[in-house]
Structure 1
Amino acid sequence: MAKQYDFLFRLLMLGDSGVGKTCMLRRFTESEFDPSHISTIGVDFKMKTLEIDGVKVRVQIWDTAGQERYQTITKQYYRRAQGIIFVYDITNEPSFLHIAKWISDVEEYASDKVQRILVGNKSDEEPMRRVTKTEGSKLAGRYGMDFFETSASSSSNICESFTHVTELVLQDHKRDVDNLLGSLDDYLDKVTLEEEKGRQDNEENSQKTCAC
């Protein structure tokens, strides 16, 4: 059977318990919203295929438990992630303040090349807002991340945020391939020049031998 995608990327969702990571993931992968689900235990994941600029990308999205007791388990997944989505709840200021701690963990355990975005979830609950959009944007800018406010309930910006981090990973992958091919071209050019020089040296030595 022919492969149904061109690339497979791993994304990781991080944030405190209750910020809506699982609801976001289900909305994105299954177009469903269930606010009554139980908290994630350890790690769960779902898959979805996206088409970006004519390229089919399969994303494996890991949904991690936010509780402290599971973090030893979830940190094992940091190194394998190519994209990370930090999530806080706009109605829960502590979840926003804890983003710095989640970022610190990623900087310690994840790859230096991992792509990251910041998401403020539950934007549909505006009357209960405790974190302004400006505060979220400033925090994202401080760490060099793009920023989205989303709502798993209304589906606002859900597809856009997941697609954007996938695009960042794909762009980074293409840069790596281009750099690899560039290095390979440089290497082949060097080998070709050395072979030509070697042939010229052999011809000159041969001519000298004949002259004697």
Structure 2
Amino acid sequence: MDRPNRTQVPPLRPAVRIKIISVGEPAVGKSCLIKRYCEQRFVSKYVATIGVDYGVKPIKIRGTEVRVNFWDLAGGEEYAEIRNEFYKDAQGGILVFDVNSRQSFEALGFWRKEATALGAGGAQFVLCGNKSDVGKRVVSADEGQKFAALHGLPYFETTAKDGDNVTEMFHALFARVVEKIDL
């Protein structure tokens, strides 16, 4: 008895995953930026991240299905031991400061060093000056640009509340990551 001619089904390609981390001082809006991008919403009540928060968003990059794994790292000093376990194998990250907080801007060097020392040295980063809508600005766009240029980072000013530049920032980050991993 003849068997029917079956078409060969190609094996399923495993989903491409990229690991993205968020780093910066507490209350600069790291979680809000991720929530704005992933869920298109803003939560106005501040709730500090305890340790690490995690989320996944499927997207398409260059025609390939990609699952972006977001690791939102708490900025509080009391979470350093927990946070330090999650830098390893990060392929990209957002380095965030609040344009209304000089201290959060001045801490950027610390966050770069910590990320590099603890396993994210090869990750692609973007610099994000968040809360540009608040109006109590103490860090100029020029200062943000200079820091970014010094460290070879693209610079974005965002507002998680209104969503301004959030999608553009993440897409620029994903493009940098994809360029490095060559999808």
TM-score, normalisation: structure 2: 0.89
Equivalent in the alignment of 1:96: 105
> Which protein shows a greater Rg?
1
Equivalent in the alignment of 1:132: 140
Equivalent in the alignment of 1:185: none
Write the distance in 1 (CA, Å) between the matches of 2:121 and 2:30.
Answer: 23
What residue identity is the alignment partner of 2:20? Answer: L
CA offset digits 1:151-173 (Å, max 9, x no partner): 00010011111121111111101
Question: Please, which moves more after superposition, 49-58 or 156-165?
Answer: 49-58
Write the distance in 1 (CA, Å) between the matches of 2:82 and 2:15.
Answer: 30
Tell me, what secondary structure is at the counterpart of 2:44?
coil
| Structure 2: gaps of 5 or more residues | 1-10
1:181-192 map, 5 Å: none
Tell me, what secondary structure is at the counterpart of 1:46?
strand
Tell me, what secondary structure is at the counterpart of 2:159?
coil
What residue identity is the alignment partner of 1:17? Answer: P
Question: Please, which moves more after superposition, 104-113 or 68-77?
Answer: 104-113
Q: Quick one: percent identity of the two aligned structures?
A: 34
| Structure 1: gaps of 5 or more residues | 178-212
Match of 1:44 among 21, 31, 53: 53
Q: Do the aligned residues in 2 keep the contact of 1:5 with 1:58 (CA within 8 Å)?
A: no
Equivalent in the alignment of 1:210: none
The 1:32–1:172 alpha-carbon spacing in structure 2 relative to 1, beyond 3 Å, is same
1:121-200 map, 5 Å: 121-125=130-134, 127-174=135-182
Write the distance in 1 (CA, Å) between the matches of 2:88 and 2:32.
Answer: 24
Shift of 1:114: 1.1
Shift of 1:138: 0.5
Shift of 1:3: 6.7
Write the distance in 1 (CA, Å) between the matches of 2:14 and 2:172.
Answer: 18
Tell me, what secondary structure is at the counterpart of 2:100?
coil
The 1:112–1:22 alpha-carbon spacing in structure 2 relative to 1, beyond 3 Å, is closer
CA offset digits 1:100-136 (Å, max 9, x no partner): 10001112112432111110001111x2001001100
CA offset digits 1:55-110 (Å, max 9, x no partner): 22210111111100101111111112110110000001100000010001112112
- 1:10 equivalent in alignment to 2:19: yes
1:200-211 map, 5 Å: none
Shift of 1:4: 9.4
What residue identity is the alignment partner of 2:99? Answer: I
Equivalent in the alignment of 1:54: 63
Equivalent in the alignment of 1:31: 40
Q: How many residue pairs were aligned?
A: 173
Q: Do the aligned residues in 2 keep the contact of 1:140 with 1:147 (CA within 8 Å)?
A: yes
Greater fraction of residues in helix: 1
- 1:67 equivalent in alignment to 2:71: no
What residue identity is the alignment partner of 2:157? Answer: E
What residue identity is the alignment partner of 2:104? Answer: S
- 1:84 equivalent in alignment to 2:96: no
